[in-house]
């Protein structure tokens, strides 16, 4: 229901009792939007989300509702879908549960917004887009890293021509995830079970697809090697289990226009860099290193002239030759920014290019990475239409 000044939008939020769903989507996005009075529109009206929390555990949902300003909750997804006050269906369940419930929501006429990966295989991910399009419902996939301050600054540098011709991108992502025997694990155990949709390739290559496509150019081919470095871990109940999914991936991507990108992704690496994710971009006129928030640059004129001589201590303090970019604007939570864009898309039909077909592209790259790792070969990407 809506009055003349407020568009009240019911949002079914399925699977938000998990870490990411609770923190980023519910509390830091939807609740934050409610607390700010909704999404303000140019005509003086606002969009006010009304979350309905859905999950399998009544106790978890009840506790989460108390944190979320008394949001409605239910363990009955069908009842939530049948309620005409609910306009949007959001899914942040484990990947293996996603496709079936998204299809149920489409059949109920709900607009779809969901986490990535949208499915465990490209065919299913592409089918979700086709079914949603044929049903005439608006749809989108979470691509949060596009609104990270560090990546937005990188995109601005490209827009200003700072790099000249971009030659290469080097990404380093990851941290040490404890095994869970003596020190508590900080990622859910299903991440390391292939049969439950786990694995770092299906997770992170989906991210790298939209980062590369949107900032540097379309990915055309991949060479990837996956590994399961830690063969055994302990789950949330303290029970030991065998890891069946890859926990590290070493990938090289060919990007349209000749850019080469290489990304190391690992949950078995100790961090000695500026952030948990860093991207180094090298161009003919300058280079930049971006973290999640900060960016350091080195233009051509400030580039030192190293000379290889391993017999003497290194005379150049390389870190000193980089300039940290100043803050020229304010940045909001990346998940919240995209939520606001999707709400405006639903209410005002404003453009939202990050549809379920973009989610399918991410799954396609992850599948290609897994195929490359099995075959020890380059895999070309076909265009998804």
Q: Are strands 248-255 and 260-266 parallel, antiparallel or unpaired?
A: antiparallel
Contacts by 27-35, CB closer than 8 A, 24 or more apart = 27/67, 27/68, 28/333, 28/335, 28/336, 29/333, 29/335, 29/336, 29/339, 30/68, 30/339, 31/68, 31/69, 32/333, 32/336, 33/336, 33/339, 33/340, 33/343, 34/69, 35/69
* pLDDT at residue number 290: 98
Count of CB atoms within 10 A of residue 210's CB?
23
Domains of the chain with CATH codes: 6-144+334-355 (3.40.50.720), 146-329+364-375 (3.30.360.10)
Tell me the whole-structure pTM to 2 decimals. 0.94
Which backbone phi and psi does 196 adopt, to 5 degrees? -110, 15
* pLDDT mean values, one per 10 residues, the chain (385 residues): 80 94 97 97 96 97 96 98 98 93 98 95 97 98 98 98 98 98 94 93 96 98 98 97 98 97 98 97 98 98 95 95 96 98 98 97 98 98 90
d(CA 154, CA 87): 35
* pLDDT at residue number 277: 98
* pLDDT at residue number 385: 75
């Amino acid at each position: 229901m809506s009055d003349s000044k407020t568009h009240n939008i019911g949002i079914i939020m399925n699977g938000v009792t998990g870490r990411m769903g609770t923190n980023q989507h519910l509390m830091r996005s939807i609740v934050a939007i409610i607390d700010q009075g909704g999404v303000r529109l140019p005509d003086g009206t606002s969009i006010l989300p009304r979350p309905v929390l859905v999950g399998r555990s009544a106790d978890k949902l009840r506790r989460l509702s108390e944190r979320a300003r008394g949001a409605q909750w239910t363990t009955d997804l069908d009842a939530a879908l049948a309620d005409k006050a609910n306009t949007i269906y959001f899914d942040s369940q484990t990947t293996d549960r996603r496709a079936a419930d998204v299809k149920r929501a489409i059949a109920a006429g709900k607009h779809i917004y969901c986490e990535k990966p949208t499915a465990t295989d490209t065919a299913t991910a592409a089918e979700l887009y086709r079914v949603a399009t044929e049903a005439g419902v608006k749809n989108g996939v979470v691509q949060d890293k596009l609104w990270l301050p560090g990546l937005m600054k990188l995109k601005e540098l490209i827009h200003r021509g700072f790099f000249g011709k971009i030659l290469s991108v080097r990404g380093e992502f990851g941290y040490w995830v404890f095994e869970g025997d003596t020190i508590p694990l900080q990622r859910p155990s299903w991440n390391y079970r292939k049969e439950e949709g786990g694995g770092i390739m299906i997770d992170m290559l989906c991210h790298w697809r939209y980062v590369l496509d949107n900032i540097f150019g379309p990915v055309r081919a991949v060479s990837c090697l996956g590994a399961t470095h830690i063969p055994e871990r302990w789950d949330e109940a303290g029970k030991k289990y065998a890891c069946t999914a890859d926990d590290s991936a070493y990938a090289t991507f060919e990007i349209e226009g000749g850019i080469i990108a290489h990304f190391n992704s690992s949950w078995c690496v100790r961090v000695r860099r500026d952030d948990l994710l860093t991207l180094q971009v090298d161009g003919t006129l300058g280079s930049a290193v971006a973290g999640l928030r900060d960016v350091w640059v080195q233009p051509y004129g400030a580039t030192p002239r190293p000379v290889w001589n391993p017999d003497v201590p290194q005379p150049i303090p390389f870190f000193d030759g980089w300039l940290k970019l100043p803050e020229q604007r304010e940045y909001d939570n990346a998940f919240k920014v995209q939520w606001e864009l999707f709400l405006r898309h639903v209410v005002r039909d404003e453009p939202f290019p990050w549809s379920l077909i973009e989610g399918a592209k991410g799954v396609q790259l992850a599948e290609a990475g897994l195929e490359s790792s099995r075959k020890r070969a380059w895999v070309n990407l076909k265009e998804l239409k």
